[in-house]
């Protein structure tokens, strides 16, 4: 079994040319031509969330959730490995941050 692409992952804005949001790792602008913001582009695409159009809220929600996958995995591992109250509290904070990333509006 292979390893997943290491995070963090982000999602692109709606891409009209192929009706999707791209999810993947981020690098300097113009790595792939898929822009994330003014300074960053998609370095490696790991998934796409296909959309009916740029107003497809389900596709955008899916892109957010997929982009949060590495963070959610880290949070689950931290919770399962917590041996002390301090580590547990840190793991809970990581969990909340991952959930917020997945659900941000």
DSSP-derived secondary structure for the chain = -PPPPPS--EEPPPBTTTTEEEEEEEEETTSSS-BSSSSEEEEEEEEEEE-SSTT-HHHHHHHHHHHTHHHHHHHHHHHHH--SHHHHHHHHHHHHHHHHHHH--
**pLDDT value, residue 43:** 85
**pLDDT value, residue 68:** 94
Instruction: Report how far residue 82's alpha carbon sits from residue 78's, in angstroms, rounded to the nearest whole number.
Output: 6
**In the predicted model, what is the mean pLDDT of residues 79-91?**
89
Residue 48 confidence class, pLDDT cut points 50, 70, 90: very high
Stated pTM of the model: 0.79
CB 100 within 8 A of CB 93: no
Domain spans of the chain, in order of start: 7-67, 68-105
pLDDT tens-place string over residues 3-39: 889 889 999 888 888 888 999 998 777 666 677 777 7
**pLDDT value, residue 13:** 81
């Amino acid at each position: 079994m292979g390893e997943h692409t290491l995070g963090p992952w982000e999602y692109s804005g709606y891409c009209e040319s192929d009706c999707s949001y791209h999810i993947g790792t981020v690098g300097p602008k113009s790595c792939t031509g898929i822009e994330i913001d003014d300074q960053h582009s998609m370095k490696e695409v790991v998934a796409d969330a296909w959309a009916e159009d740029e107003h497809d809220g389900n596709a955008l929600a899916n892109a957010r959730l997929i982009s949060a996958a590495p963070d959610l995995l880290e949070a689950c591992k931290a919770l399962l490995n917590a041996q002390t109250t301090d580590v547990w509290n840190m793991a809970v904070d990581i969990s909340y941050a991952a959930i917020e990333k997945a659900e941000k509006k």
